[in-house]
Structure 1
Amino acid sequence: MGWTKSARRKLSLPIITTIICTFLAFIFLLYTERVSTISSGYISRLKPCPKRADDRELESDSIDNLAEDTNDFDPDECSVNHGKWVFNSSIKPLYSDRTCPYIDKQYSCIKNGRNDSYYLHWEWEPDDCMLPRFNPEIALRKLRGKRLMFVGDSIQRNQWESFICLVESVIPKGKKSMKRGRVHSVFKAKEYDATIEFYWAPFLVESNTDIPIKSDPNQRIIKVDSISQRAKHWLGADFLVFNTYVWWMSGLKTKALWGEFENGEEGYEELDTATSYRVALRTWANWIDSTIDPQKTRVFFTTMSPSHQKNKEWGNVNGIRCFNETRPVTKKGHWGTGSNKDMMKVVASVMGRMKVPVTVLNITQLSEYRIDAHTSIYGELQGKLLTDEQRADPLHFADCLHWCLPGVPDTWNQLLFAYL
């Protein structure tokens, strides 16, 4: 039976349409199969595989490359103390006082009841450079087989605990340990054969008030020319980070003693604070110059951490010290009486004469703005959390000296990380 021209014309369009649709469906199947294969391969590459020695070597190289990429920081071209705090809601701290088990109650503000978190989302931006973000893996790589030791007072312990919390979350359980002591505490990152240590020396030089602490400044006597009994414990460290400031600022003249304690600690001389501070720093500097090999040990000195006691200095005439402050000071170059410029000049003068190079971590100006980040009423007093009655009296009990963790000391360690 033959087809008429009319029938052929009626059937040709459906047949052609069917052929085209079939062809397109076939192409689509090939495409989706290809996409599925590519996706599967990509996902499989994301899955962690057992690491061989050469894999670890490649990982090591990639971390070093990342360090080079992120660390364009040049301390000779960057004045870190000139800049501003910028609010960034996307910033999330690398830890919290609930996830890091090494934070003292004294600094655990959120755990102690602080219910605002605004202070956690500010980042420091220098005017003429960018600070690299703190990278725990790179920091631990830099510390492999080394000792990092913080030496100083409770502010330095604040920074030490911050550094530990910044890195500890990437260390597997069972691969880290902490040994606390009254004077010397040691955190170990076993996989890296690294230690991050703290040594309690509030004056750096020796005194009669280190252990046990004499709470009455009138009873404190400082051996301004003696440091060797303490400093012998600092030998062998690859990185030494020092500070001393807060304990000097009692408002009283310093009872300075030369030589050993004798005759019931009599025979001391009363000096003004700047003079005794200079003598003590020279004692420290002489020890550094005569003992430290700069090819083996790198020395840092952290400048003063400001206190914020006088709310009128930042324009809050109705405030109570640092209590209830939730934002940094925005006035450029703000400087309060909680930072003593004469003491800063002493630091600059002494270190300018040293033979061993000392890297100064200038944290004073950037910290001056952060009236919002102190522990305030969310800390401790003589080892005990403040009572409800004490919290209701911030004029007498707010701590405007120490810092919440996470918080401002993380930025100090970001700066330290940049120098590393």
Structure 2
Amino acid sequence: MKFQAIEHSLRKHQTRRKIPKIALVVALTILLSAISIYSPSTQFNTKKASKLPSEFDSAEEPVKSTAPSGVILEACRNEHDGSEPCNHRESGVEDRKVTKEDEEEPPSLKAEQVEVTKSAEIEAQGSQEEEYCDLFSGEWVPNPEAPYYTNSCYGIQEHQNCMKYGRPDIEFLKWRWKPDGCELPIFDPHQFLELVRGKSIAFVGDSVARNHLQSLMCLLSRVLYPQEISNSTDENRQWEYQGYNFRMSIFWAPYLVRSVEITGPKDRTRSFSLYLDEFDENWTTKIEEYDYVIINAGHWFFRPTMFYEKGNLVGCQYCPQENVTRLTTYFSYQRAFRTAFGAINSLQNFKGVIFLRTFAPSHFENGTWDSGGNCPRTRPYKRNEAVLEGYNLELYKIQLEELRIAQEEGRKRGLRLRLFDATKAMLLRPDGHPSVYGHLPDQKLELPRDCVHWCLPGPIDSWNDVLLELLRREESDKPVT
């Protein structure tokens, strides 16, 4: 399917993981020793392998999960004596002891030995050949050590402080994201700060972008609190981590394109005019100086909106006017991302990396946000319990397609546009939202049950496990575009 091919191509570069050197050296030593004893005349084929074999190279079905529903960690322990954990397929090359059967085999090597030998040759030659590990396909597994900060972190806003407002369960804190083909390290604040020393990161988007930034700040608070260096009274703010010369900013841009509010903030629906072919200069004129930029957009596109192109009204969504063409969220979403990526590709001096963090689904059940919907679950879904479908799937497909188009254009200028896929992982976390625990019971708020944002601490902290790994790969792989 076309969609599957697009998804796989977007992930291909940024899911590379180098084969451990120690394992390869050991394997090569054993094989060379065995061959020198049993077959001194055997000659190796030293032709460089074009690509290491990997069972994780094939594209996965984007809308349905096919792996076993059980927790990998527990399944792994059940296969062993239970005395220690194990990691399936962690390196792609299994450790292998020499057995009696090995000693008796003829000089011609087994197929798997040949592959190990090729891998060792590649490593010895200084090759950059790597196997692929998709960070974005996996499941949530128990993590008894979490969380890694408390709800007293200064960066947490009241409506995300679930423990303060009486959430009775804590199991939602005790999970980590486990990709299928590798281990994803838990976020290390020391490593992160060293990696970004002298650099800068900007978050561009809506309140979920702010949620992400706050999680990152709280994880880093175990080492250092930042100093705010902006004097802004709105959502656009900037911080510096002194001693590391690291700067972090957020730019408020829920639509990514130029927008004008039609109704006041007291209006429950808050209607907007969207100029779908015009850059939002609130962020497009400021990101050139940043090393990393993470953009997102999603939930705001369901509000009442008037759509403009070339200065002309071309349609609307949920508008009262009878003589205006009715258009859908998908119409505005596609055009907004096309324009946003066009703005990025038009930047003359930008040398950094753009990450598109994909749409994180909400989890309202038994109604919408304004009709009694709620998210009362206390455990993640297993991967076979939830399917990406409906508007979540459509928005996700639009994002992947627009990123693909933007990458093709950006590649001509050496720009790096990457995928940060949060959609599949967060589809499985209906338990991670504030729900009714983002305010006092007697408070009357616009969003009485919040199934959009994420509790802090909470599942969104895993986004920064992924972010650190993505930054590691970019720093070790800069020449590749």
TM-score normalised to structure 1 length: 0.70
For residues 389 and 102 of structure 1, what CA distance do their matches in structure 2 show?
Answer: 22
Alignment check: 8 A CA contact 1:255 1:269 kept: no
Amino acid across the alignment from 1:371: P
For residues 264 and 310 of structure 2, what CA distance do their matches in structure 1 show?
Answer: 20
Cα distance, 1:236 vs structure 2? 0.7
1:101–1:211 distance in 2 versus 1, CA, 3 Å: farther
Cα distance, 1:389 vs structure 2? 7.1
- Are 1:226 and 2:278 an aligned pair? yes
1:358–1:109 distance in 2 versus 1, CA, 3 Å: same
- The count of aligned residue pairs is 328
Alignment equivalent of 1:327, drawn from 379, 382, 390: 379
1:76–1:408 distance in 2 versus 1, CA, 3 Å: farther
1:151–1:206 distance in 2 versus 1, CA, 3 Å: same
1:35 corresponds in structure 2 to: none
Amino acid across the alignment from 2:329: T
Alignment equivalent of 2:396, drawn from 344, 357, 373: 344
1:403 corresponds in structure 2 to: 454
Amino acid across the alignment from 1:209: E
1:236–1:261 distance in 2 versus 1, CA, 3 Å: farther
Alignment equivalent of 1:199, drawn from 251, 256, 259: 251
Cα distance, 1:136 vs structure 2? 0.3
- Are 1:87 and 2:142 an aligned pair? yes
- Are 1:310 and 2:362 an aligned pair? no
Cα distance, 1:79 vs structure 2? 2.4
Alignment check: 8 A CA contact 1:308 1:336 kept: no
1:190 corresponds in structure 2 to: 242
Query: What is the identity percentage for the equivalent residue pairs of Structure 1 and Structure 2?
Result: 29
TM-score normalised to structure 2 length: 0.61
Cα distance, 1:249 vs structure 2? 2.5
Cα distance, 1:123 vs structure 2? 0.9
For residues 210 and 361 of structure 1, what CA distance do their matches in structure 2 show?
Answer: 32
2:150 corresponds in structure 1 to: 96
1:130 corresponds in structure 2 to: 183
For residues 182 and 286 of structure 1, what CA distance do their matches in structure 2 show?
Answer: 26
Amino acid across the alignment from 1:195: R
1:347–1:331 distance in 2 versus 1, CA, 3 Å: closer
Cα distance, 1:211 vs structure 2? 11
Cα distance, 1:198 vs structure 2? 1.0
Secondary structure, counterpart of 2:452 in structure 1: strand
For residues 364 and 115 of structure 1, what CA distance do their matches in structure 2 show?
Answer: 27
Q: Which runs of 5+ in 1 are unaligned?
A: 1-67, 313-319, 380-384
Q: Which runs of 5+ in 2 are unaligned?
A: 1-20, 23-89, 93-128, 472-481
Alignment equivalent of 1:376, drawn from 435, 450, 461: 435
Alignment check: 8 A CA contact 2:365 2:373 kept: yes
Amino acid across the alignment from 1:95: Y
Cα distance, 1:112 vs structure 2? 2.0
Alignment equivalent of 1:412, drawn from 447, 455, 463: 463
Secondary structure, counterpart of 1:202 in structure 2: coil
2:169 corresponds in structure 1 to: 116
- Are 1:257 and 2:308 an aligned pair? yes
For residues 356 and 262 of structure 2, what CA distance do their matches in structure 1 show?
Answer: 20
CA RMSD, aligned part only?
A: 3.4
- Are 1:244 and 2:303 an aligned pair? no
Alignment equivalent of 2:339, drawn from 283, 289, 302: 283
For residues 273 and 130 of structure 2, what CA distance do their matches in structure 1 show?
Answer: 38
Write out per-residue CA displacement over residues 55-94 of structure 1, whole angstroms, 9 at most, x where no aligned residue: xxxxxxxxxxxxx99x9999972223321111232x1322
Secondary structure, counterpart of 1:370 in structure 2: coil
Write out per-residue CA displacement over residues 357-404 of structure 1, whole angstroms, 9 at most, x where no aligned residue: 31111111111111111010111xxxxx3433769xxxx821111100
- Are 1:147 and 2:200 an aligned pair? yes
For residues 236 and 225 of structure 1, what CA distance do their matches in structure 2 show?
Answer: 24
